[in-house]
């Protein structure tokens, strides 16, 4: 991580940890109302009830706050994939896998819906480029191993290619679904069908 995006001080006391968490929580809530472009450190400080000077004690700028939030989100996604990958998937049908992973990430995206502007910004903000690259590498590896365990792919090269396409499909569609009001069960069914079609086609290409 560059110095510019690093927290000024690593919290060592419980009170400092709580203050840092308050800053991240307030930023998450502001993202839902003002978005990434209109987010400022002044707004964050006001939401937390601290001075901008105190805020700078923890984060040097708004992009450092976004960087920490993005790191937390990415780790949450990878943890969910790791948990799925730890299951015995060798005899799991593709349809059952699609139902499982859709339920897991639908719940996750809804729970973290205030972060939707940031999730979209991970791919566009230059300040988050390093995170985007690291996330893509880890995500492709984790999903690729799952697809091999599911007997969808044989080679690592093909599993990683499929993983990249699959995640863009799943994330993109779930972002649209979570942002919709009202949410449609038919849309969720379509999301599952598209995943199933992609994975079935990949398996039949052996």
**Distance from C-alpha of 113 to C-alpha of 98, rounded to nearest angstrom:** 21
Residue 7's pLDDT band, with cuts at 50, 70 and 90, is: low
| pLDDT score at 8 | 59
Please indicate whether residue 163 or residue 132 has the higher confidence score (pLDDT).
163
End-to-end CA distance of the chain: 41
**Distance from C-alpha of 198 to C-alpha of 194, rounded to nearest angstrom:** 6
| pLDDT score at 146 | 97
What would the pLDDT profile of 8-62 be if each residue is shown by its tens digit?
555 557 888 889 999 999 999 999 999 999 999 999 999 999 999 999 999 999 9
**Distance from C-alpha of 26 to C-alpha of 48, rounded to nearest angstrom:** 6
What would the pLDDT profile of 174-186 be if each residue is shown by its tens digit?
999 999 888 899 9
Coil, strand or helix at 119: helix
Q: Chain-wide mean pLDDT for the chain?
A: 91
| pLDDT score at 120 | 86
Map out the domains of the chain with their CATH numbers: 3-62 (1.10.10.60), 63-204 (1.10.357.10)
Residue 109's pLDDT band, with cuts at 50, 70 and 90, is: very high
Residue 153, judged by CB atoms within 10 A of its CB (0-12, 13-18, 19+), counts as buried
């Amino acid at each position: 991580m560059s110095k510019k995006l690093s927290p000024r001080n690593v919290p060592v006391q419980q009170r400092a940890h709580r203050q840092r968490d308050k800053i991240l929580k307030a930023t998450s809530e502001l993202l839902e109302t003002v978005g990434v472009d209109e987010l400022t450190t002044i707004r964050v400080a006001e939401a937390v009830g601290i001075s901008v000077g105190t805020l700078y004690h923890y984060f040097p700028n708004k992009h450092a706050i976004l960087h920490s939030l993005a790191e937390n989100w990415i780790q949450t996604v990878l943890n969910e994939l790791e948990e799925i990958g730890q299951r015995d998937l060798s005899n799991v049908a593709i349809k059952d896998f699609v139902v499982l992973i859709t339920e897991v990430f639908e719940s996750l995206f809804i729970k973290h819906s205030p972060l939707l502007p940031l999730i979209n910004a991970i791919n566009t903000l230059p300040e988050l480029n390093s995170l985007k690259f690291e996330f893509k590498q880890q995500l492709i590896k984790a999903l690729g191993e799952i697809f091999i365990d599911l007997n969808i792919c044989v080679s690592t090269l093909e599993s990683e290619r499929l993983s990249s396409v699959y995640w863009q499909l799943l994330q993109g569609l779930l972002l649209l679904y979570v942002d919709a009001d009202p949410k449609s069960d038919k849309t969720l069914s379509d999301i599952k069908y598209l995943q199933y079609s992609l994975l079935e086609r990949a398996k039949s290409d052996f």
